[in-house]
Structures are given as structure tokens and as C-alpha cells.
Chains A and B, each alone.
Chain A
Amino acid sequence: MNLSNDDVRDILRLLDSLPFAELHLETDGFRLSLRRTADGEWTQATEVLSTSAATPDEETAPAPAAAAEAARDGLLEVRAPLLGTFYRAPRPGAEPFVEVGTVVQEDSVIGIIETMKLMNSVPAGVRGKVVEICVGNAEFAEQDAVLMLVAPEESSASDEPPGEEGTA
């Protein structure tokens, strides 16, 4: 059973004439809570309860690739700033932003994470040489998942390689 908005309004009209500030209603498939706020207006919280019509399968949420334990001694981690689909290249068929061996600066773009139809570029955030790519192209990454491992550059700022890599 489901209540229509009109049904709920009828209930509200009834409640307005009564001294109650809350109403909780539960049926087999439905839960409704009405609450009177300080200004005398009402809020509703509804819950449609689960039926066994279809069972979600878990393939939708693959385990976050390569969790933090991969952090090997001395390596820096590039983590996903938000969850979504990780892309290594600016568009299908294009060269990846970085490969193993690429030297990155803090602001070098190392990939894109698509979340809710928005493309968010992921800066390395660290400086060094990419030694491992932990999440493959078009794979799902949880927030904070380690995307890449970077070996810090020991070299001083004066003998940095020319900065042609990275930033797309």
C-alpha cells in the first residue's frame, strides 16, 4: 500500500485539529513519520521498505583496488580525491596522462575521475617518478583509494628534468 500526497494532506488536516506533534505510521511496505516543527508547519520522512522484487548484485561495488597496505617503504601515494570511474587518458584512444617512469610534479594531472557525470582531473599532489599504477583505466575507484605509487625525487630542485611531462 502506498499513500498519495493527497492522503498525507488529509492526515495533516486531521492532525492539525489534534494536540499531537508527531505521527508514525507503518504498514508492510511503507513507513511514514510526520513531525510538527516549531512554527507549526509539518515535515515528512517516508520510507518505502524493501521488497524482494529484485536483489541487488554486488558487482556494482568492486573492492577498492590496492588499498593502503600497498604503501611500500618510502613511496608516496596518489589517492583518489573522490569516488568514481578512473580514466588514465583525457579521452578514449588518447595517450595516458602518465606511465610508469613518468616524472610528476605536485600539479601534474595523472588522470581523471568521473563522478556524477562530472570529469574531475586528479593532480599528483606529490613530486617524483611513477613506479606503480594501481587502478586500471575505466576501473572504479573508491574515495581515497591509492591510484598510483610515486618514488620521491631525491634530486634537488636545481637538477630537475625539464618539465615537459604531465600537465595536460
Chain B
Amino acid sequence: MDFLNALVALCNYVLVPSIAYGSQLALGALGVTLIYGILRFSNFAHGDTMAFGATVTILFTWLLQSFGISFGPLPTALLALPFGILGCIALVLTTDRLVYRFYRQQKAKPVILVIVSMGVMFIMNGLVRFILGPANRKFTDGERFIISAREFKAMTGLREGLAFKTTQGITVITAVVVVIALFWFLNRTRTGKSMRAYSDNEDLALLSGINPERVVMVTWLIVASLATIAGVLYGLDKSFKPFTYMLLLLPIFASAIVGGLGNPFGAIAGGFLIAFSEVTITYAWKKVLVYALPEQWEPTGLVQLLSTDYKYAVSFSLLIIVLLFRPTGLFKGKSV
């Protein structure tokens, strides 16, 4: 029995990766939940909005790299991020002007807007593949680790190493900063409060003189920023591939719905819940158990509940369980 090594292995393979993945899902789910709360539809194009923001960021990263500009130990992509956000804002505002506004004026039902957003999804996905191609791209540079497994072993003398990647550190820090900024905006500023008011009671918001077109525009600005940040962080941490982002839609929606659609706090909690479930259920626990259990109880198999290929099944099952027993999500969201 060796609890310390068990704990380190648990951190290395389960806790750290799921905190990073959870932060990425939470940022994605915040965007979905804001659109749902304010524009009142489920935005299926969100995964590809993330992909587009990441694409623009990658293009600017390459441009900066070609000028010989780097960000020291941090990835150059962080310098390119503001340009990615601007590019993504331009795309979503254009989409809103050309597509969504028409349906808003028709007072289209949410289900129609969902189908419309699917169309937008395919177009955005095509756009991204047209610009960058469908291949897998890595655009991380700078220092790879904050603490590498070898350094950790040398420092502690333990048999198990704990690697902490730069991208994971950046992901968590950025997510915390962004979430604090978002909550400050929604709860403390006049515009943020008007967005909450519009989400709460549209008619009364109109009666109070809140301009719906402005609320919608500010929402898109925030959503595009969140989507780009989430997309870039995910791309830095794993890699960038257009279809992966389309598939990310499932865990992101699961996070938003499990947390309670329309509730920003729920989106964050949902993101971490989904991430932890996916990782813990698809992780092969043998290593941790070998350290944690007495010798005669040592497992012979991998102790992996599901193969990692099935990780989306985990989010889907969780989604169904929550919808069956708590249709408005763990935190009180809106029910359609």
C-alpha cells in the first residue's frame, strides 16, 4: 500500500486533466447557456463558433511567428487571441444580421431557430475546413510543462510523476479570470443587469425601455469571446481539428443542460461534472488501485469501466439521467 503514490497518480491522470477539460467545457457551456437565456434557442453552431475563433487565432499565431514574435515561455497563441476574438465577433455579428435577426423579427419559435443554427453550424464548419483544412493541427509553442513528471519525481523522490502542462495551467487561470469577469459584468454593470432582466422577463424588459437589439448584440460579443477563448484553450491543450469541435457540442450541451440551461453558475458546475465523469469512467484505474490496495487485492484487469472511445456516451447518459429526474438541471434553469 502506498497512498502517496496513489494520490499522485490520481492527480496526474484524473484530477489535473479533468480540471483542465472541465474549464474548457465550462467556458463553452457558458456561451450556450447565455444564448439560450437571452436569444432563447439552443445554438448548435456553438462548437463551430469555437472552431472559427480558434482558426483565426491560429492564423494570427502563424503570422506572429513569421515575424519572429513569441511570448517567451507562454504560447504565442495567447498574443493572437485578441485577434481571434475580434474575428469571431465579426463572424457572429454578421451571422446575426444576415440570419438570426430575420427569424427574430418573425418571432420564430425556438425549434425553428435550432434548425437554423444547425444550418449555420454546417456553413461555419465548411468555412473553417475551407480556411485551415480538415487536418489535425498543433499550434502550441513555448514551454511545454510547468512541472514535468521527471522533475516532480526528482523533487519528491516518489515513483509516480505528476506532470502539469503549461496549457493546463493557462486553461485554469484563464477560465477563472474569464468567469469572474463575466459574473462581475452580469451582476454589477447596468448592461449586464439589463441582459439578465431581458432573459428573465422579455415583455417587462421592453416596458422598462431596455433595447432588445442592443442586448442581443452585447450577448453575441460575449458569446464570441467565450467561444474563442474556449476553442483556443482546447486546441492548445489537445490539438485543433474541425470535426473534434463539432463533436465537442455534445459534452458542452450536456454541461449546460445538466447545470440548468440559462443559468451561468450551472453551466460551470455542469462543465466540471461532465468532465470528471468522462475522465473517471474512461480511466484505467489499475495503477491507482495497485498503490492504494493491499497486495492480495491487486486487480488483474485494467479496471476501466468504459473504453475512451465511449466517452461521449458518458455525457449522454448523464444528460438523460438528469433530464429524467431533474428536467430543469441541477441548478434551477429554464424549462422550455
A and B: bona fide binding partners: no
